[in-house]
Amino acid sequence: MITFTLKRILQLIPVFFGATLLVYFLVFATPGDPIAALSGGKPMSPAVEAALRAQYNLDQPFWVQYFLYLKNLVSFDLGQTFSGQPVSDVIARAMPVTARLAVMALAIEAVFGVIFGVFAGLKKGKIFDSTVLVASLLVIAVPTFVLGFVLQFVVGVKLSWAKPTVSSGAPWGDLILPAVVLGLVSLAYVLRLTRTSIIENKSADYVRTATAKGLSRRRVVVVHILRNSLIPVVTFLGADLGSLMGGAIVTEGIFNVPGIGNLLYQAILKGESATVVAVVSVLVLVFVIANLVVDLLYAWLDPRIRLV
């Protein structure tokens, strides 16, 4: 298992270089001049313009720009934003907020998704099952931004149960509402995955054997049915952590969360390569590590799976 982990970590290196090169090129290739946008249509003296271009290497051809970026990267210098702040600081401020949001969303979808999924699966065709199925279909069908705005208005403005936006320091309490919005769609998928899986497994031979042995209903469900049903769910959750971290742009926008999604969006609009590349690289790392954890979890859930 250690070799397996090491191999996977080594694979990170080419993935990382490929991703940074691609993203750097994409930002480079977007039309429009970031320095022209900085002046916002007001005049800028040629000397100032030249100085700014030189400062961000924008006067260099693509390969030189990318090489200089890599060179700084080796010494753990992620570059500067157009406002002169180190990109590493900017990410260090935004990352914990998004991580907290993503973990909360993941917890909500995992806990509620699995619990509802198990009950729905065990009581297939009953009223609870049908209700849950219809509700999850609705959640999947409604776009996140509609859900976000409606919940924000009803809970935040009309009922005043929570603040409509996240306040300074992004306290856990303020993040509940955005986390629910962020996790709701995935919750519906987790629920459906769990339900299907449970239905398949509950008529399996080993379940009948376990029941015949006289094991308690609780032990049959938790140890025999659930554990075997979790593999597809865990795969989904692992991949989902990555999308929750990087795909929270809409939710972060609605609730004004100062996280990675917002940061990335603003940086793309400004054409700030250093920030975009750094953020995307971090997200790539998150994806890869989440996948690694999922693979390790497989072996734990199902001892038949060998990691090589």
Q: Which of 258, 289, 294, 307 binds other proteins (CB under 8 A)?
A: 258
Q: What is the dihedral of CA 155, 174, 245, 185, to 10 degrees?
A: -20
Q: Are the C-beta atoms of residues 163 and 85 closer than 8 Å to each other?
A: no
Which stretch of DSSP H or E encloses residue 71?
Answer: helix 62-74
Which 3 state secondary structure label does DSSP give 86? Answer: strand
Q: Which of 14, 46, 214, 303 binds other proteins (CB under 8 A)?
A: 46
- According to the binding rule CB under 8 A, does residue 57 interact with other proteins? no
- According to the binding rule CB under 8 A, does residue 154 interact with other proteins? no
Select 33 or 302, whichever has its Cβ closest to other proteins: 33
Pick the stretch among 148-156, 175-183, 202-210, 219-227 that binds other proteins (CB under 8 A). 148-156
Select 4 or 265, whichever has its Cβ closest to other proteins: 265
Residue 169 Cα distances to 94, 174, 265, 298, angstroms: 10, 10, 20, 36
- State the Cα–Cα distance between residues 124 and 116, nearest whole angstrom: 12
Select 16 or 265, whichever has its Cβ closest to other proteins: 265
As measured in angstroms, the least distance from the Cβ of 62 to other proteins is 17
Tokens 């692992």: give the residue.
238
- According to the binding rule CB under 8 A, does residue 152 interact with other proteins? yes
- According to the binding rule CB under 8 A, does residue 247 interact with other proteins? no
- According to the binding rule CB under 8 A, does residue 14 interact with other proteins? no
Chain center to CA of 216:
38
- According to the binding rule CB under 8 A, does residue 31 interact with other proteins? yes
- According to the binding rule CB under 8 A, does residue 164 interact with other proteins? yes
**Shortest CA distance to 110 belongs to which of 202, 183, 175?**
183
- State the Cα–Cα distance between residues 60 and 55, nearest whole angstrom: 11
Q: Of residues 289-308, which lie at the interface with other proteins (CB under 8 A)? A: none
Q: Which of 32, 125, 214, 303 binds other proteins (CB under 8 A)?
A: 32
Q: Which two three-digit tokens encode residue 15?
A: 């993935």
At 162, which amino acid appears?
Answer: A
Which 3 state secondary structure label does DSSP give 211? Answer: helix
DSSP code for 85: -
Q: Which of 60, 270, 297, 299 binds other proteins (CB under 8 A)?
A: 270
Select 197 or 251, whichever has its Cβ closest to other proteins: 251
Site residues for other proteins per CB under 8 A: 31-34, 36-48, 50-52, 55, 82-85, 89-90, 93-94, 149, 152-153, 156-157, 160, 163-165, 167-169, 253-256, 258, 262-263, 265-266, 269-271
